[in-house]
A and B are shown apart, each in its own frame.
Chain A
């Protein structure tokens, strides 16, 4: 089946936006969760979430340390392009222009979610209301994947969806590592932070990785080990290596893919070079920046080859 370049572009971006919304929802949930375990609110640094969302510059600094303004910014701010309100809407607007290539239930799922988000985002800032809202975003995003997985032909359009998903997902994993894990690693060793384990659990939860990490590494949670798991465990679908492997399998099914494969190999190399950084917070932050750049390069190659004509 032929695929218009413009339609490929819309599907790819729809996938990135819904993944972005889901990731933001998951990070917000896990952060709220860890706060419940830590008695002093003062040490909660809500503004680090803004950094994870990649939007540091947009929020006024005096608002950045309070819960409500940060949560509002990430969930419901109409002027913040990466608020859940806007990413869900962007996903819907992109899918609206390629309904003819997707299973009908896919459109209905995102349309339904968009109606829900528009009507409830502004009132989902408080902790109780927020939980139901964030769960709904995560669940509907997965439902959308489910519909496509069981009902969509494995053609180029499907690969575009997967590419958008995994590039965004890999990017999010590097940002969680670069901001939150790097901060944790910088704490002086020797148990000064009695909540370190709780915080590492939160990092894992924000990527839906806690259970799978514990299966892979039984015993107490070890920071550098968590980092290595999230970067290199090929078998875990949210690890950066796992995302790159999924991207490779999609690219291999697309026509004339040389330039894209070339950039993919560069991203692989960049990731491998991060191995020593797993133990060092300062190093990790920089290493994640480099991986993010290589993912951006991969995106550019994809866009030049398939999304623009």
Chain B
């Protein structure tokens, strides 16, 4: 069963190109399908040769796979993006204040805005972090929020990834590849560049260094080559001129400083951008059996001798259950209305909401609170009866671990598949940096479900990617319908219509 087609990013309801996409679609038309296929082939080959890869765990021997990329870009109007940019910065400010509050004063609980018992069995709450207040009060320095455009034409935040979000390297690589695939389009369009991210990341990380450390030394801590995002760890280290280290490359001295093991002897490290889960970073404090971490790292962090990004414990706020409270956090901490929407979320821990969920399994998406990568998600209208029975049992057994949301009609964009250009569902993961100031990538990683009708966009489960273009200016002058920007025309015409997500 396939849901009714939602909004398409590039085409309007009549199948005509939207103003921002006119140039692109007419160009694709002129090139023709054979030429597009040829360019797709050339691009696939380039990705293979450049070694842009991701790694799949469960794939037997072939662990290192070429990154899947669809050459047709996904376009978003600059004016609409400004709104998203503001909304995400606001959201991350509030989330960081929330984390800092939880590990310190817990005002939000005292004021009755957030239920205390939610923390008791949170898998990502780290009591070891209580009483710590990192620089700028920021815990989630690097986050990736998954957005979808629903049937009403609006962007919604589907989830916040505050632990070790990945994908930003592919944003940058996709752009490099796209420029060579469609050089003629980049001459005409004003596409916001994405290359600046690593510089911003570098600056933000450097700003976290302990006081008095000029020219701070930054290290990217990776679990190693078998991690699915190893390519990215290496890419980011390379772009920042940082050291790429594994746990065994670091040690903590008796002086509680962190050192790298170099051919020159021990060299002090000031900032660690960790890309391993916090349960593994220090076997003295968390999992004893971790071979990926560094003995004494938490001690060094607590002593203020090293900054860790993201801070251990930051994951408490990307719990899919905590998600439901984010709009309240924005209001509570900032006294503002949220500028980017949350998907309505039923929390199975509450009897009335759980009863509703169990009565409406067919209409909802059920999500386990502490899984990532799309694992464990059950989509009610396409799951088998056995799968629904199983999720019902799981919810009844452990209601705290489950939330449910309406099935969103994810937007689509034309994608080059076997039969030509066809609409495929997609989402968007912009990356947000939060330090003393905030930064949002222009666009982000567009992931596309290559299977017809599928809503699963994760690359670990057969999803692809697209280059994401935030386009400014000239298309407005061409727009003969007199509508100033794409986003405004769309929100005006569709704000009336209600959808399951509204």
Contacts and interface: CB of A to CB of B under 8 A. Distances in A.
B225 A2 contact: no
Contacts of A2: 217, 243, 260, 262-264, 267
Interface string B169-198: 000000000000000000000000000000
Interface stretch (A62-70, A94-102, A228-236, A283-291): A94-102
A2 B51 CA distance: 26
Contact of A3 (B51, B238, B263): B263
Given A2-B260, A108-B49, A111-B51, 13 more contacts: A2-B267, A4-B249, A5-B249, A5-B262, A8-B263, A96-B225, A98-B244, A104-B238, A111-B50, A112-B49, A115-B48, A255-B264, A309-B261
Contacts of A104: 238
A138 interface: no
Interface string B245-261: 11011000000000011
Contact of A100 (B49, B225, B234, B267): B234
B259 to A, nearest CB: 10
B417 to A, nearest CB: 25
A122 interface: no
Interface of B: 48-51, 217, 224-225, 234-235, 237-238, 242-246, 248-249, 260-264, 267
Given A108-B50, A111-B49, A115-B49, A3 B234 contact: no
A2 B268 CA distance: 11
A100 B244 contact: yes
Contacts of A305: 263
A275 interface: no
Contact of A5 (B48, B49, B235, B263): B263
Nearest to A102: B238
Interface string A100-114: 110010011001100
Contact of A97 (B225, B238, B242, B263): B225
B249 A6 contact: yes
Interface residues of A, number: 26
A306 interface: yes
Nearest to B266: A309
B240 to A, nearest CB: 9
Interface string A115-126: 100000000000
26 contacts: A2-B264, A3-B264, A4-B243, A4-B261, A4-B262, A4-B263, A5-B249, A5-B262, A5-B263, A6-B261, A7-B244, A8-B263, A96-B225, A96-B234, A97-B224, A97-B225, A98-B244, A100-B242, A100-B243, A100-B244, A101-B238, A108-B49, A108-B50, A156-B264, A255-B263, A305-B263
Interface in A196-217: none
A254 interface: yes
Q: Which of A111, A305, A309 has the most CB of B within 10 A?
A: A309
A2 B246 CA distance: 15
Contacts of B49: 108, 111-112, 115
Nearest to A9: B263
Contacts of B224: 97
Contacts of A115: 48-49
A156 B265 CA distance: 13
A3 B50 contact: no
A7 B263 CA distance: 10
Contacts of A8: 263
B38 to A, nearest CB: 20
Contacts of A254: 263
Nearest to A160: B263
A113 to B, nearest CB: 10
B263 A107 contact: no
Contacts of A99: 234-235, 238
A306 B234 CA distance: 22
A27 B261 CA distance: 39
Contacts of B248: 6
Q: 9 nearest interchain CB pairs?
A: A309-B261, A100-B238, A100-B237, A111-B51, A2-B262, A306-B263, A99-B234, A100-B244, A2-B267
A108 B51 CA distance: 7
Contacts of B238: 99-101, 104
Q: Which of A4, A98, A101, A111 has the most CB of B within 10 A?
A: A4
A128 to B, nearest CB: 26
A308 to B, nearest CB: 9
A2 B224 CA distance: 20
Given A4-B245, A6-B246, A6-B249, A156 B48 contact: no
A81 B167 CA distance: 35
A309 B234 CA distance: 22
Nearest to A104: B238
Contacts of B245: 4
A108 B238 CA distance: 14
Q: Which of B48, B50, B51, B224 has the most CB of A within 10 A?
A: B51
Contacts of A255: 263-264
A104 B49 CA distance: 12
B107 to A, nearest CB: 42
A85 to B, nearest CB: 15
Contacts of B260: 2, 4
A5 B261 contact: yes
Nearest to A103: B238
Contacts of A5: 249, 261-263
Q: Which of A93, A101, A305 has the most CB of B within 10 A?
A: A101
A200 to B, nearest CB: 41
A8 B262 CA distance: 9
A222 B243 CA distance: 52
B467 to A, nearest CB: 20
B413 to A, nearest CB: 30
B86 to A, nearest CB: 34
A156 B51 contact: no
Nearest to A99: B234
A104 B260 CA distance: 24
A309 B263 CA distance: 8
A101 B239 CA distance: 10
Interface string A187-199: 0000000000000
